[in-house]
Structure 1
């Protein structure tokens, strides 16, 4: 039987995998934001492509000559988000099963060029304690933070 760490890693890898599939494995880096607080699950994903940080619905903006365009339809985006959200639920179940703390926030970064994976976790309530911001706002802020670091 697989242990906690192995199953946890597999679920994270699946999130990255579906995001890579969305771009036909053509991204330099994949960023996945996952939030799970008080029965509310939320996620988003974005990329580093052609040396530009880009949100999943704007992929065709960063195409270079000869690049095949992407299907960035809302249906396709929701398909990816549903898979990510299912994985977050499975991680939550896994944490309950093994009596581990469930991260309230996960920031996953996969560098497709080097094959390196890194993850950052928070266990405190993030958006629940904020009167104004939603999980989506925190995901957008992370995108802007990553983008601004690269300038």
Structure 2
């Protein structure tokens, strides 16, 4: 039991770590959307930086001109998503190995300033049973919800 919990947490920590690395540890909060549903693996990540909620490709909107700039190249962004997706695969394998149910959705929030970590899990189908919704749309809706509610 402890081994399962530790490894599960380790993979989630890795997702947060790679997202922090993407912004060179300069963020107040990190948000990771991870989805594994009906064979579809998907992820998104976004931030709170300088009191602005930003998708990963727009993090430079939070910095003043002439200050440092984040490297938001497509290659770098895809590398982060690849690592998150690999972590999702590892969690799936871990769940199978320990005969545990795999979450269909994980919403991870890390508050950099106080080290607080929150995770929300769903185990029901979120989008594959929906006629038009995709994992990306669900992630976008979560981003808008976060931005609107400032959580």
Specify every segment of 5 or more residues in structure 2 that has no aligned partner in the other structure, as ranges: none
| Structure 1 runs, 4 residues or longer, greater than 3 Å off | none
- Which residue of structure 1 lines up, in the alignment, with residue 135 of structure 2? 135
Q: Normalising by structure 2, what TM-score? A: 0.97
Contact 1:127 1:134 in 2 (8 A): yes
| Partner in structure 2 of residue 52 of structure 1 | 52
Where do 1:107-126 residues align within 5 Å?
Answer: 107-126=107-126
* Residue number in structure 1 paired with 2:85: 85
Aligned to 1:105: 105
How many residue pairs get aligned? The number is: 151
Calculate the TM-score normalised by the size of structure 1.
Answer: 0.97
Structure 1, unmatched stretches of 5+, are none
3-state secondary structure, aligned to 1:12: helix
User: Residue 32 of structure 1 corresponds to which residue in structure 2?
Assistant: 32
Moved more, 59-68 or 99-108: 59-68
Query: How much has 1:66 moved relative to structure 2?
Result: 5.0
Query: Secondary structure of 2:89's partner?
Result: helix
Q: Secondary structure at the match of 2:131?
A: coil
